[in-house]
Copies of this chain bind each other. A is one copy, B any other.
């Protein structure tokens, strides 16, 4: 269930990307499942088709979904984790930003780790992890 916040400063297309990736992790969308068509999705979330299209294009670039000509878009059936150096850098940067913020809010390291754990579980430690996560 995609949920758009028009007031957010996060672009709509990015919100769509984020939420679809999350739904896949949670198992709400599974390998091979068909996504709503661009037009259907756009009417559901009352956004412009172009905006949805942009989100789908970005997801396809990340190899999270695939387009089959004239049929629609589907969750990639053989997703392979992509760990580029640049992406890793980015992740570390984001972790740093979070920790800086957390410190300013007076949150201890233990509390942060707790939050990470609980968020991690809430996103679903299901089949996705078993397949792709490096222990």
Binding site for B on A (CB under 8 A): 6-7, 9, 11-12, 18, 21-22, 25, 61-62, 64, 66-69, 71, 81-83, 87-88, 90-92, 94-113, 115-117, 119-120, 123, 128-129, 132-135
Contacting residues, chain B, for A82 (C-beta < 8 A): 104-105
Contacting residues, chain B, for A99 (C-beta < 8 A): 116, 119-120, 123
From A95, which residue of chain B is reached at the shortest CB distance? Answer: B119
Given contacts A98-B98, A116-B116, contact A103 B123 (CB under 8 A): yes
Write the nearest CB–CB distance from A47 to chain B, whole angstroms.
11
In the docked arrangement, what's the CA distance between A132 and B6, Å? 25
Assess whether A91 is in contact with B98, with CB atoms less than 8 Å apart: yes
Assess whether B98 is in contact with A83, with CB atoms less than 8 Å apart: no
Given contacts A116-B112, A119-B92, A133-B107, contact A69 B100 (CB under 8 A): no
Contacting residues, chain B, for A129 (C-beta < 8 A): 103, 108
In the docked arrangement, what's the CA distance between A129 and B7, Å? 25
Write the nearest CB–CB distance from A90 to chain B, whole angstroms.
8
